[in-house]
Amino acid sequence: MPTMDDDIALAHRLAAAAGEAIRPYFRAAFVQETKADSSAVTEADRAAEQAMRDILERERPEDGIVGEEFGSVREGASRQWVLDPIDGTQSFIAGRPIFGTLIGLMQQGWPLLGAIDQPIACERWIGATGRATLFNGAPAKTRRCKSIEGATVATTSPHCFSDDEADAYLRLLAAAYGKHPWPLYGGDCYNYALLASGHVDIVVETGLKLHDFAALVAVVEGAGGQMCDWRGDPLSATSDGRVIALGEPARLDDVLEVLHGH
Amino acid sequence: MPTMDDDIALAHRLAAAAGEAIRPYFRAAFVQETKADSSAVTEADRAAEQAMRDILERERPEDGIVGEEFGSVREGASRQWVLDPIDGTQSFIAGRPIFGTLIGLMQQGWPLLGAIDQPIACERWIGATGRATLFNGAPAKTRRCKSIEGATVATTSPHCFSDDEADAYLRLLAAAYGKHPWPLYGGDCYNYALLASGHVDIVVETGLKLHDFAALVAVVEGAGGQMCDWRGDPLSATSDGRVIALGEPARLDDVLEVLHGH
């Protein structure tokens, strides 16, 4: 049975391998036709996931793998590595260095370890249950937040929300910003990483897949924050994809109250 | 009378001075309370604009200056330096390296030269009338775009649009993405820089101030793109702040047709 230190060291190697696979594709399609960028991202996605799977097959032949590109193997294993080689496809395609490689380790369906790696800026957040989250080797800490009013809210795209969810989200914006909402859009996993480092207070999203959020939980919680679904329940392999991240766990009741309109 | 080469060299020095002033403030507030980030951005903004103004007062005592932070001097001068020390305040506050310092030079109210500088990633786009836009010294080129369908559209925030503008914008998204719009949000000036480098096809925004767009025009147009207002007219000091940027000028009529719904 590998120790937590072994798993953390392995997550670093996985992230490094993915980054090496991704970097040659970043901004590489600019001399080609429009559509070339979307195939570039597919190629980069696959190359990075394959690089990580090769390492896992060699070093953790008994663990399961859930990958965005190549699906699942050993689904019955109690330990599952959950991989999203490029989270933030649109940012990658557009040449923004705020996408990320996500590496999560789940045990019995619960997040145990997570890494968010930004391979262009060479930024890596890594968290594990019971450990302090590290950003490029130094402790990352969420910041305190005394009320929703004045909080910095981030979400990748307003188009993800259903009508009901959009109403809930707009209530949250009104509570945070008043009449002139100015939340942070775009960002994908990078929003959670910046929350872990104390620059963002609240991230609220829906429609996330397991590979989108598995890696985030340990990073955010090891930095002093909290992640849960829109009911306030902890995230697991069976969550419905509606996600809240808070830098300040004491604001959870306030956020749930605003989202649910009472 | 300074030559274009003199002005370009000066723009480089201005950008370098602003970057030096800004960098110490980036992500520096994370150990403080929530509100500290917004005062950090104000301090960074002012320090950077002051650094640029000091240079301009010394080297171009006859030119006007229009600055986001400290207002205007010599408003009657035919040459006006238009400065936005930190465009993308929300990104700066949240620790995203996709804000920018904008330096524009207008002559008789028309854009002559522009620089977009990202001081964390050390990326600089510089364009001038009749010159090829350079990205870190190498030519930047927009990409071709054969139709709006499939184009990559970017805008900083949907909250900027009035109801009518939002309708126009949603028509553009429908034309580009069909039923599942997935445009690029966030980004501010960085969207225009990435358009100049051939990674984004269309940027559509409203409510921009002169200091938000003055620097962008020469960067985009020197890379083969086009900028105009929502009527298709060239941008000048008297524009209304509704802005279109296109990597492919041949798409202008299509975009105007979709925005205006006929």
Q: What is the largest CA-CA distance in chain A?
A: 55
Q: What is the structure's pLDDT at A127? A: 98
Q: Assess whether pLDDT exceeds 90 at residue B36.
A: no
Q: Is a pLDDT exceeding 60 seen at residue A162?
A: yes
pLDDT for residue A105 is more than 90: yes
Would you place residue B154 in the very low, low, confident or very high pLDDT band (cuts 50, 70, 90)? very high
B140-159 average pLDDT score: 96
Q: Which residue among B145, B181, B184 sits closest to A94, beta carbon to beta carbon? A: B184
Q: What is the mean pLDDT of chain A?
A: 94
Residues above pLDDT 70, as percent of chain A? 95
Do A32 and B143 count as a contact with CB atoms less than 8 A apart? yes
Cβ distance of B37 and A181 shorter than 8 Å: no
> For the sheet containing B226-229, what is the strand order?
B153-154, B202-205, B243-246, B226-229
CB atoms A97 and B121 under 8 Å: yes
Segment among A35-49, A236-250, B58-72, B112-126 with least mean pLDDT:
A35-49
CA distance B174 to B168: 10
**Closest Cα in chain B, distance from residue A145 (Å):** 6
Given a cut of 70, whether residue A32 has pLDDT beyond it is: no
CB distance B246 to B226 below 8 Å: yes
Which helix (H) or strand (E) segment holds residue B87: the answer is strand B79-87
Put simply, the chain B residues between 179 and 198 with a CB less than 8 A from any chain A CB are 180-187, 190-191, 194, 197-198
Predicted confidence band at B20 (pLDDT cuts at 50, 70, 90)?
very high
pLDDT > 70? residue A41:
yes
Determine the Cα–Cα distance for residues A205 and A218; give it in Å rounded to an integer: 17
Rounded to an integer, what distance in angstroms lies between the CA atom of residue B140 and that of residue A24?
18
Looking at the complex, report in whole angstroms how far the Cα of residue A157 sits from the nearest Cα belonging to chain B. 7
A174-216, pLDDT tens digit by residue?
999 999 999 999 999 999 999 999 999 999 999 999 999 999 9
pLDDT (0 to 100) of residue B165: 96
Kindly report the backbone phi and psi dihedral angles of residue A82, in degrees, each rounded to the nearest multiple of 5, phi listed first.
-110, 120
pLDDT digits (tens, 9 = 90+) for A56-86: 999 999 999 999 999 999 999 999 999 999 9
Residues of A in contact with B157 (CB under 8 A): 182-183, 185
Please give the DSSP secondary-structure letter assigned to residue B146. Answer: S
What pLDDT sits at residue A238? 95
- Give the helix/strand (H/E) hosting B129: none
Average pLDDT rounded to a whole number, residues A128-140:
97
Percent of chain A residues past pLDDT 90, beyond the cut: 92
Q: Alpha-carbon distance B121 to A206, whole Å? A: 31
Q: Is B97 on the interface with A (CB under 8 A)?
A: yes
Chain A: closest CA distance from residue B1 (Å): 37
Provide the pLDDT for residue B63.
98
pLDDT at A262: 76
How close does chain A come to B3, measured CA to CA in Å? 32
Residue A93 has pLDDT above 60, yes or no: yes
Q: What is the ipTM of this complex?
A: 0.94
A197 to B30: CB separation less than 8 angstroms, yes or no: yes
* A183 vs B contacts (CB less than 8 Å): 90, 157, 159
Q: Which residue has the tokens 């986001």?
A: B68
Chain A interface, mutation test: which of B152, B159, B162, B191, most A Cβ atoms within 10 Å? B159
Our CA-based measurement puts residue B181 at a distance from the nearest CA of chain A, in whole angstroms, of 7
A31 chain-B contacts, CB cut-off 8 A: 141, 198
pLDDT over 80 (residue B262): no
Is residue A98 scored above 50 in pLDDT? yes
Q: Are strands B202-205 and B153-154 parallel, antiparallel or unpaired?
A: parallel
Largest CA distance in chain B: 55
pLDDT at A33: 44
Rounded mean pLDDT of A5-14? 98
At A1 the pLDDT is 85
What does pLDDT average to over chain B? Answer: 94
Q: Half-sphere exposure of A141 toward its Cβ, with a 13 Å CA cutoff?
A: 11
pLDDT score for B39 = 67
Do the Cβ atoms of A143 and B33 come within 8 Å? yes
Chain B residue with Cα closest to A198: B30
A32–B199 C-beta distance less than 8 A: no
What is the pLDDT averaged over residues B84-103?
A: 96
Q: Tell me which residue of B56, B209, B220 sits closest to B125, measured CA to CA.
A: B220
What is the per-residue pLDDT for B50? 98
Q: Which domains does chain B have, with CATH numbers?
A: 4-139 (3.30.540.10), 153-259 (3.40.190.80)
Of B35, B94, B145, the CB nearest to A199: B94
**Can you give the pLDDT at residue A35?**
47
Judged by CB atoms closer than 8 Å, whether chains meet at A185 and B185 is answered as: yes
Q: Looking at residues B63-71, what average pLDDT do you find? A: 95
Q: Name the closest residue on chain A to residue B181, using Cα atoms.
A: A159
Q: What 3 state SS string does chain A have?
A: CCCHHHHHHHHHHHHHHHHHHHHHHCCCCCCCCCCHHHHHHHHHHHHHHHHHHHHHHHHCCCCEEEECCCEEECCCCCEEEEEEEEECHHHHHHCCCCCEEEEEEEECCEEEEEEEEECCCCEEEEEECCCCCEECCEECCCCCCCCCCCCCEECCCHHHCCHHHHHHHHHHHHHHHCCCCCCECCCCHHHHHHHHCCCCCEEEECCCCHHHHCCHHHHHHHCCCEEEECCCCCCCCCCCCCEEEECCHHHHHHHHHHHHCC
Residue in chain A lying closest to B197 (CA): A30
**Residue A37 — pLDDT band, cuts 50, 70, 90?**
low
Residues 6 or more apart whose CB falls under 8 angstroms from that of B170 comprise B181
